[in-house]
Amino acid sequence: TKGQVVVVGGGSGGATAAKYLKRFDPNLDVVLIEPIPRHYTCYGSNWYLGGLTRMDRLAQTFTVLRDTHGIQVIHDTVTAIDRDNHKVHLAGGDRLSYQKLVLSPGIDFRYDAVAGYGPEVAETIPHAWKAGPQTQTLRRQLEAMPDGGVFVMVVPGNPFRCPPGPYERASLVAHYFKQHKPRSKIIILDNKETFSKQGLFMDGWQQLYGNMIEWVPSSQGGQVEEVDAATRTVYADGGLTRFQADVLNFIPPQEAGRIAVESGLTGATGWCPVNQLTFESAMDPDIFIIGDASIAGQMPKSGHSANTQGKVAAAAIVRTMAGMEMLALSTVNTCYSLVGPEYGISIAAVYRYSDGEITGVPGSGGVSPADASLHFRRQEARYAQGWYDSITADIWG
Ligand code: FAD
């Protein structure tokens, strides 16, 4: 009989896994479950916030996966995983059997972490850390903000989705302000002491935006403890420091997507421990967890990571079902960030599994040079667009 693999989540990890499962074994029945018919990528959402692209350019659909690759796509939500009976329950009432299950549910927010912020508050004080309506709310607020206003971003500690993401966002909001509201200010309240590509970002900010962006590390008042939604005020430093925002972007601390938590697949940290050779859950040998939800050694929580992990899990499942042993595969990540429309920077690494963990291969990657020419930065900004086009084609095309 044909094997049946169910994939939960049609984002970067899940859609890749579905496509490559079918590619590695065309005889498999692959079912992809994703509630939202148009997936808006988070990558590129900062470009939209800065006015560089339209929202509909970030929409990915499942037509090609269904019509060309033969994947059964169901637009529904998985409400429970019955691990004992190998079944998933759908909100619409159906139950589906699986032999192997791939979970790529992304993140959910730890709304209990900071007083005064919760799901209701997020309607007016957006996190915009899942792309879609939240991103549009934030853009509308930035458009409505008067010149001379203050945009405050609250950034969580590690680990979280997309380590350079908040700083690219600050950059492109600065680009928008510089054109339309040049007297405005951006304050980043950070729950850590250092951040990804810090030197490159800070150099770029100075060159392009002067002193518009102020970054406050946790030891200097950046550790936010309370939000007053009504006045858009945040309190830090045991109440000693307060910042009042005209537009407030609060990015809460995160954990694995709800379904993974509720199915008992997360550890004490809120993320999913896996065998890093295969992405098989440490709690269940028939469930594979990839993308942001997983603990993947040194790999960052990025779309590119989720994409390579989807291929590894697909290979592991096909080999296991065929009774073959898994090979140690190399994985890769590149994160481009735009500091301005013509100013790109990047970080890249190749990873290898050894001794139970995924670690970066020494000398395999790195960040953009500190002293590069503007021509070089312009080239990297083009590569960022090229990366977007090729990764989305690999995942949903
Ligand atoms: P997602 O892509 O979020 O997919 C999860 C999917 O699962 C969703 O579609 C959701 O609807 C679905 N789902 C959840 N629960 C259920 C359920 N119970 N039943 C059915 N479906 C369910 N990464 C990069 O590589 N490069 C970048 O430049 C970059 N920029 C970013 C900028 C920003 C502002 C942000 C926020 C992120 C950025 N990222 C970037 C990170 C990237 O978006 C994520 O790492 C990536 O989306 C993770 O993929 P995933 O499959 O784990 O989760």
Name the residue type at position 2: K
In tens, the pLDDT along 10-25 reads 999 999 999 999 999 9
Mean of the pLDDT values across residues 299-304? 98
Instruction: Look at the block and give the residue holding tokens 């007297």.
Output: 183
pLDDT, mean of residues 207-236: 96
| Overall average pLDDT of the 133-139 stretch | 98
Structure token pair of residue 90 = 């759908």
Partners of residue 30 on adjacent β-strands: 5
**Residue 3 above 80 pLDDT?**
no
Give residue 239's pLDDT: 82
- Cβ atoms of residues 11 and 40 within 8 Å: no
What is the pLDDT averaged over residues 325-332? 94
Beta bridge partners of 275: 280
Residue closest to 362 by CA, chosen among 374, 372, 352: 352
| CA-closest residue to ligand 1 atom 47 | 303
Peptide linkage before 273 cis (omega within 30 of 0): no
Q: How many CA atoms lie within 13 A of 228 on its CB side?
A: 12
- Give whole-number Cα distances, 283 to 86, 174, 270, 280, in Å: 14, 44, 14, 8
- Cβ proximity of 124 and 116 under 8 Å: no
- pLDDT exceeding 90 applies to what percent of the chain? 98
Mean pLDDT of 286-309: 98
Beta strand pairing call for 4-8 and 107-109:
unpaired
- At residue 237, does pLDDT exceed 90? no
Neighbour order of strands in the sheet with 150-155: 213-216, 185-190, 150-155, 247-250
**Ligand 1 pocket residues where CB is under 6 Å:** 8-14, 33-36, 39, 42-43, 45-46, 77-78, 104-106, 129, 161-162, 165, 169, 257, 259, 291-293, 301-304, 306, 335-336
Q: pTM of the predicted model, to two decimals?
A: 0.98
Instruction: Reply yes or no on whether the pLDDT at 321 is more than 70.
Output: yes
pLDDT band at 302 (very low <50, low <70, confident <90, very high): very high
- So what's the pLDDT on residue 2? 67
Tell me how far CA of residue 222 lies from CA of 150, 158, 165, 254, in angstroms.
16, 14, 17, 18
Q: How far is the CA of 12 from the centre of ligand 1 (A)?
A: 6
Mutating to test ligand 1, I would choose from 34, 40, 42, 383 the residue with most ligand atoms within 8 A of its C-beta, which is 42
Nearest CA residue ID for atom 27, ligand 1: 43
Residue 1 has pLDDT above 70, yes or no: no
Listed range (47-51, 151-155, 234-238, 376-380) with the worst mean pLDDT = 234-238
Which residues touch 311 (CB under 8 Å, ≥6 apart)? Answer: 16, 17, 20, 329
The per-residue DSSP string of 255-308 comes to: EE-HHHHHTT---TTSSEEEETTTTEESS-TTEEE-GGGEE-TT--S-HHHHHH
pLDDT of residue 385: 98
Cα–Cα distance for residue pair 69/22, rounded to 1 Å: 7
Share the mean pLDDT of the chain: 97
